[in-house]
């Protein structure tokens, strides 16, 4: 026990960069830097949210038509999967804080499994949209269910699907990056890189993971639950 404590303190001393007064200050600075990055991410996704708002306000009817093609069961399942992954991530960070290395690795591995689960379900949905010609471009085809709004609706529905693919695609890209980062934590964790004194990377990747969950929390109602005509 005593030798392990000594080891931890040595890791902590090595982890303290010379321009910080102590581990506490270093941790707060690192976490603040991560938050600053996430704020730029908010504006990054914000541009797409803004485009969505403009076109939804202009072509509400077409957006309702497009959203009828969404699989709400799969969308809701994926929301649940992400919330579960956020729980295991939060508990993983907690395990790192408490110095429970094995528990942290197990929880992070479960987080990765949830992440792949999300991407798998998303791939099933993407495939469905792809074979139904619901991908914007020369092969886009949309049969409007409402004869009152014929040709223009199909055209405007393409805008809905452009936004759907762009927003969920950017989100999925963030998931892929997130899984890579968590995998890196697992490897570094197994090598004993983190201690209760130094776990900044675990905390920051956790912040990133929760942020990606947060984006989906908004994407799900905005893209899937536009109107009750299911």
* Residues at the site binding another protein, with contacts judged by CB under 8 A: 23-24, 27-28, 31-32, 35-36, 39, 42-43, 46-47, 49-50, 53-54, 57-58, 72, 76, 79-80, 83-84, 86-87, 89-91, 94, 97-99, 196-197, 199, 203, 206-207, 210-211, 213-214, 217-218, 220-222, 225-228, 230
CA–CA dist 6, 12 (Å, integer): 10
- Between 137 and 192, name the residue whose CB sits nearer to another protein: 192
DSSP 193: -
- Between 137 and 188, name the residue whose CB sits nearer to another protein: 188
Shortest distance (Å) from residue 120 CB to another protein:
19
Shortest distance (Å) from residue 139 CB to another protein:
30
- Between 57 and 131, name the residue whose CB sits nearer to another protein: 57
Shortest distance (Å) from residue 63 CB to another protein:
11
Shortest distance (Å) from residue 99 CB to another protein:
6
Integer-rounded Cα radius of gyration of the chain: 22
- Between 98 and 188, name the residue whose CB sits nearer to another protein: 98
Please spell the DSSP secondary structure of 69-114, one letter per residue: TS-HHHHHHHHHHHHHHHHHHHHHHHHHHTT-HHHHHHHHHHHHHH
Shortest distance (Å) from residue 86 CB to another protein:
5
Q: 10 Å Cβ neighbour count for 38?
A: 17
Give the up-direction half-sphere exposure of residue 4: CA atoms within 13 A in the CB hemisphere.
8
- Between 161 and 198, name the residue whose CB sits nearer to another protein: 198
Shortest distance (Å) from residue 220 CB to another protein:
8
- Between 24 and 146, name the residue whose CB sits nearer to another protein: 24
Longest dimension (CA), the chain: 78
Q: Which one, of 226, 198, 141, lies nearest residue 7 by Cα?
A: 198
- Structural contact between residues 209 and 111, judged by C-beta atoms closer than 8 angstroms: yes
- Structural contact between residues 166 and 49, judged by C-beta atoms closer than 8 angstroms: no
Shortest distance (Å) from residue 181 CB to another protein:
15
Q: Which one, of 221, 211, 223, lies nearest residue 44 by Cα?
A: 211
- Between 18 and 230, name the residue whose CB sits nearer to another protein: 230
Give the up-direction half-sphere exposure of residue 99: CA atoms within 13 A in the CB hemisphere.
12
């Amino acid at each position: 026990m005593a030798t392990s404590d000594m080891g931890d303190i040595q890791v902590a001393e090595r982890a303290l960069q010379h321009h910080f007064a102590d581990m506490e200050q270093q941790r707060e600075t690192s976490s603040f830097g991560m938050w600053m990055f996430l704020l730029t991410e908010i504006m990054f996704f914000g541009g797409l949210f803004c485009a969505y708002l403009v076109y939804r306000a202009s072509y509400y009817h077409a957006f309702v038509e497009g959203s009828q093609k969404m699989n709400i069961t799969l969308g809701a399942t994926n929301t649940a999967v992400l919330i579960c992954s956020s729980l295991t991530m939060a508990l993983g960070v907690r395990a790192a804080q408490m110095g429970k290395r094995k528990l942290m690795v197990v929880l992070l591995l479960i987080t990765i499994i949830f992440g792949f689960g999300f991407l798998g379900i998303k791939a099933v949905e993407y495939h469905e949209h792809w074979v139904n010609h619901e991908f914007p471009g020369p092969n886009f085809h949309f049969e409007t269910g409402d004869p009152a709004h014929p040709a223009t609706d199909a055209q405007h529905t393409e805008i809905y699907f452009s936004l759907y693919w762009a927003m969920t695609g950017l989100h999925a890209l963030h998931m892929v990056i997130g899984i890579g980062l968590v995998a890196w934590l697992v490897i570094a964790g197994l090598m004993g890189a983190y201690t209760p004194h130094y776990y900044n990377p675990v905390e920051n990747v956790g912040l990133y993971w929760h942020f990606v969950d947060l984006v989906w929390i908004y994407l799900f109602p905005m893209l899937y639950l536009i109107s009750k005509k299911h």
